[in-house]
Chains A and B, each alone.
Chain A
Amino acid sequence: MTSQAQTARKRRRSLASRLYTWLTSMNLAIALLSILAIASVIGTVLQQNQPFNDYLIEFGPFWYEVFKTLGLYDVYSVSWFVAILLFLLASTSACLLRNTPGFLRDIKSFRLNAQEKSLKAFAHSRQFETPLDGDEVAERARGLLQQLGYKARLKQRDGETLVAARKGGMNRIGYVLTHLGMVVILVGGLVDSKMYLKTLNMLGVVEVETRDLPVSQVPEESHLPPDSLAGFRGSVNIPEGKWGDVAFIGLKDGYVVQNLPFKIEVEDFFVEFYDTGMPKSFNSELTLTDKETGESTTETIRVNHPLRYKGYNIFQSSFGDGGTELTFDAWQLAGDVGSHQEREGKVNDDTTFEFDGKKYTLEFRDFSLFNVNPTEGPDGKTENTNFGPSVTFRLRDAAGQAIEYENYFQPVDFDGTRYFLSGVTKEVGGQQQFLFIPADRNNSIETFMAFYAKLKDRDAIAGVAADLIGQTTQGREQRDQRMQNAAARSIAELVTTFVNDGFSALGERVDQSLAERGLTGEQAEQARNATFGVVQQVLMRTYMEVLDEQGIEDFTQQDEAFFENALDVITVIPSYGSPIYVAPKSFNHIQSTGLEITRAPGMLWVYLGSLMLTAGIFMLFYIHYRRLWVLIKPSTLDQDGQSGDQRVVVAGTDARKNIDFDQAFAQFSNELQRRTGSKGQNNPSSTPAKG
């Protein structure tokens, strides 16, 4: 071997050993613990694994890219974070490797070669004299030590006797268990992590799919055959009555498809409720069919009660609508107002229709069977009221603008009056506002629609107005017919303004015409009120006509309230935003269940490691690793070397250096002094303080 090779090797070895020293250093350990803690914070303040588009909107293009490059959207599986964990794993393993052999040797040794000088230098050490002879002292010391649970050994050496004792060696085993437990947990956790999948993706074996496709159309590169990953966590939504045999694993800004070795058929999904309407439990009845053996099992899972099957775990994690079928009446609010058609729809399905030459898409998004809301009861207390089922849909126009509506199936009672509710949300995340359409005597929306239709019918209004004018002028001198017609026309005009554009438009219109006629002050006010009165009368007459048509003869207070409420609705319809009113009629509720499907072979290791960690920590904290020495030496007071007395040096250590040992040591020494009848103690209860 050349000397060059030798030095190279030496350098290499010293590099390796330097690395080892660094890995086992406490500074690194503390640094790693701190870095891990700080890095962990990131994922708690930045919501993880959201659609990438949301981040783009939130941070803008620049920071979006920066954060994406740093992997902050899935920080706990990004390579640099995993690297920290691996470092901690390496460091802890290295510590174990370095300390364990020494610790194990240490707990077997009694340290029988301790010298007087070193014993006296201990932080806990004391000296006294006793008249007993050496063997007797040693015997009594040993007896006391054993009584205290120490293991003791005796050694005679040139005229002196050393009793060495130790206890609590399990403390050192605790060190090993604690840190080994940590290693085992980390290994188990990494086995179950996304690390392997990410590596496959990096190597190009597996591709991430970002499009929203049916499973059958997802390309082969994004499918993982069963058993290709040791551990994974995926999820899937399956509607009632349907089945699935894959789970989707989120990766980057898309997903990969994990094929399962069994089919999951969802027989039923159901929610149990408390009397408050709060959900009590979410349940899915599932039938699993093994693809290989064909055998199947049926079981009901719910939150906190998963199904375990051949190493796979299936959890109830969410639920949604699985395509509830609906029928509804589409009432026209424009054009041929008051006519309606019965239609069918399905949640998560879109239907398009044309109206007034414009194209619209009706997108049913959700259906909910119960809508429990706090309402104020008759006695002023808040109580929970179920508003019944509702359907949520969006109406999108040709330009892509959409308004979200939530319409209720049944009228809801507020203080004895029933209304059909339609919630309107114009902007995403905006406030929901409600349209309260009064229900008629038959609990139907028809009277309102008929009334509205009539108000929209110019001829009908003109007729009512002409009637009214005619009646008011009756009995007086026959006036000019043309003037009457003009008055009726302008009244009808005002009513139409009110119906089409709302109350404030009516007000403006009236003010404008008053100004044109040059009226001001008191006069204007009078004329204004008179005009409103006439409009009101026309509206009322129109309403009466509707009631007549329905064969209703008695006019009750309810009917009057209906009229007021109907007018309230009519003034806001112009801003309702939809040319039709969707009045849902019937439904066939189909739900879907959201399942979390996992495989976690590392879990067993994590639990084993946890057990070791827990046991180890308690051993570390509550078993004291202590040593005591009693050195007995003939006193050298006389010149000839013998006085018959013995000099005793007591010393002790505790790995923890906590103050309990100060006390314990003092007590031990005192007791030993007492038992050996020692003399010359001026302060028997105290340890000479050192350190």
Chain B
Amino acid sequence: MSVPNEQMANGFEPASELPTQKRIGVIDVLWALAMLVAAGIGYTQYSESLDVYATGTLFGAALGLGFLGWVWPATRWLTGVVAVVSMYALWQYNILGADGAVGRDALAQFQESNFLFKFLLSSQAATMWMVALFFLSIPTYFIGLAVRSEYGLKVGSALVWSGSAMAFIGFFSRWRESYLINLDYGHIPVSNLYEVFIVFAVVTALLYLFYEKRYNSRSLGGFVMTIVGVALAFLMWYQFTRDAEVIAPLVPALNSWWMKIHVPANFIGYGTFAIAAMVGIAYLIKQKMGGDGPNDRLPSLAVMDDIQYKAIALGFAFFTIATILGAMWAAEAWGGYWSWDPKETWALIVWLNYAAWLHMRLTKGWRGPVMAWWSIGGLFITSFAFLGVNMFLSGLHSYGEL
């Protein structure tokens, strides 16, 4: 099946086949160099406390950000803003914790007494900003869509970008705060349900922004940010009823290097699957309302179909990696790479589901509403694997009991 070109003209940016595309410009090189220099400075400052992995991660991250800046220039803004603001916050925290950990009360006192920290830079404040900005983006996007205001949609995007920046600022603050409370507690904040919900929100938002740029269409923002909003509503409930935001030490099983990569890889999967499902909803709505037409607000059905495929493919790839990493971690922590633990098994179920989805699309050529329904169904399976397992089933996975 091929798509009449007129439909795509407004919905799709040139792919890489154009010979003049994607040259490496001076700015790209400078940016990558800046990243490397920053990593180098970091390295010379802290080299004695960095092991091989940490050093590799540091320079890997620099290269990664350099590359990201080239393929997706907008991320340079995000990187820059987050770097500057977080650096300031960390600097202040370093002064506070110059002699090591200061304890929960002293930290709280500092955050209370410092205006910037109280309202912006502490992980709690930054996270609340993220929540607010992401929430706000939903009506903004939908209004922009309803009144066909490109400006409105752009404001929606700006809100999502700012929310993402706040999420990262809060993330880094929280990371440092965990050490300030007690050196023993220190850990990257991806270790309990509260923390991973934030990861989910920001990963989904960023992946969405990527597709928004790639397909040059902001009209799906309201749909995608709705699922992020649902997650954040849960987060708020969790925070206000269970004090879930309190930084707690790690249980022994989670105190592992693997956690740091297993969890984020998983969330790229969860995020893309969520995007596919929300685009699936938009697809079905548009199809019910008569499909493609001259006055479209939403991207063409073909484009939305394509986004679902792209998202699921990316998610499937990362979910595969995450599951393998999980197996390698389990081999270290529980004594076997595969124990048929409920969480593990549900990850397999999710994976099998999308494997079937991909085969259907690829070898049978299935497209259209059936696949959209299936994407939506996939999100239910994924949500169960993400949340339901923790809520209803018992097993070895030790974090995130409700």
Contacts and interface: CB of A to CB of B under 8 A. Distances in A.
A665 B395 CA distance: 51
A603 B328 CA distance: 9
Contacts of B321: 614
Given A659-B12, A667-B18, A618 B332 contact: no
Contacts of A44: 342, 345-346, 389, 393, 395
A2 B255 CA distance: 73
A282 interface: yes
Interface in A188-214: 189, 192
Contacts of A302: 252
A315 B334 contact: yes
B261 interface: no
Most-contacted residue by chain B among A36, A596, A659, A667 (CB, 10 A): A659
Interface in A625-668: 656-668
B255 A304 contact: yes
A690 interface: yes
A603 B337 contact: yes
Most-contacted residue by chain B among A124, A282, A660, A664 (CB, 10 A): A660
Interface stretch (B111-119, B121-129, B355-363): B355-363
19 contacts: A26-B364, A29-B359, A37-B349, A43-B345, A47-B394, A147-B19, A278-B249, A280-B184, A281-B252, A281-B255, A303-B333, A606-B327, A660-B15, A662-B2, A663-B12, A667-B15, A667-B18, A671-B18, A687-B2
Interface string A252-273: 0000000000000000000000
Interface in B78-117: none
Interface in A653-691: 656-668, 671, 685-687, 689-691
A598 B393 CA distance: 26
A148 interface: yes
A146 B108 CA distance: 63
A660 B2 CA distance: 10
Given A275-B182, A610-B327, A617-B316, A313 B252 contact: no
B348 interface: yes
Contacts of A540: none
A233 B16 contact: no
A62 interface: no
B314 A43 contact: no
B48 interface: no
Contacts of B294: none
B353 interface: yes
Given A44-B342, A689-B5, A657 B365 contact: yes
B328 A607 contact: yes
Nearest to B181: A275
Interface residues of B, number: 66
Interface string B268-312: 000000000000000000000000000000000011001001100
Contacts of A305: 332
A76 B321 CA distance: 23
A662 B8 contact: yes
B249 A274 contact: yes
A181 to B, nearest CB: 10
Contacts of B306: 658-660
Nearest to A235: B335
B303 A659 contact: yes
B359 A30 contact: yes
A40 interface: yes
B331 interface: yes
A621 B335 contact: no
Query: Which 8 A-B pairs rank lowest in CB-CB distance, beginning with the nearest?
Result: A664-B17, A596-B335, A315-B335, A44-B342, A689-B4, A303-B252, A37-B352, A610-B324
A45 interface: yes
Contacts of B303: 659
B185 interface: yes
Nearest to A606: B337
A174 to B, nearest CB: 11
B324 A621 contact: no
B386 to A, nearest CB: 14
A274 B182 CA distance: 9
Interface string A41-56: 1011101100000000
Nearest to A306: B332
B335 A666 contact: no
Given A43-B345, A276-B249, A596 B185 contact: no
A279 interface: yes
Contact of A33 (B185, B309, B314, B355): B355
Contacts, number: 172
Contacts of A124: 2
B52 interface: no
Contact of B335 (A598, A662, A686, A689): A598
Nearest to A48: B340
B333 A617 contact: no
B55 interface: no
Nearest to A655: B362
B345 A40 contact: yes
A351 B198 CA distance: 55
Contacts of B364: 26
B335 A304 contact: no
Contacts of B360: 30
A621 B365 contact: no
A93 interface: no
A530 B355 CA distance: 84
A317 interface: yes
A544 interface: no
Contacts of B184: 274-275, 280
Contacts of A686: 5-6
Contacts of A34: 352, 356
Nearest to B5: A686
A598 B337 CA distance: 11
Contact of B5 (A26, A189, A600, A687): A687
A194 B360 CA distance: 33
A184 interface: no
A403 interface: no
Contact of B19 (A33, A148, A280): A148
A576 to B, nearest CB: 34
A478 to B, nearest CB: 72
B97 to A, nearest CB: 17
A144 to B, nearest CB: 7
A621 B349 contact: no
A279 B252 contact: yes
B17 A663 contact: yes
Contacts of B19: 144, 147-148, 671
Contacts of B25: none
Interface in A416-471: none
Contacts of A657: 1-2, 365
B383 interface: no
Nearest to B365: A657
Most-contacted residue by chain B among A41, A43, A276, A663 (CB, 10 A): A663
Contact of A668 (B6, B17, B335, B342): B17
A662 B5 contact: yes
Contacts of B310: 658
Nearest to B305: A659
Most-contacted residue by chain B among A45, A147, A302, A606 (CB, 10 A): A606
A294 B1 CA distance: 71
A662 B306 CA distance: 12
Contacts of A690: 2
Given A40-B340, A656-B362, A689-B2, 15 more contacts: A33-B352, A34-B356, A40-B352, A278-B248, A279-B252, A281-B255, A304-B252, A304-B333, A306-B335, A658-B310, A662-B5, A664-B16, A665-B17, A667-B15, A690-B2
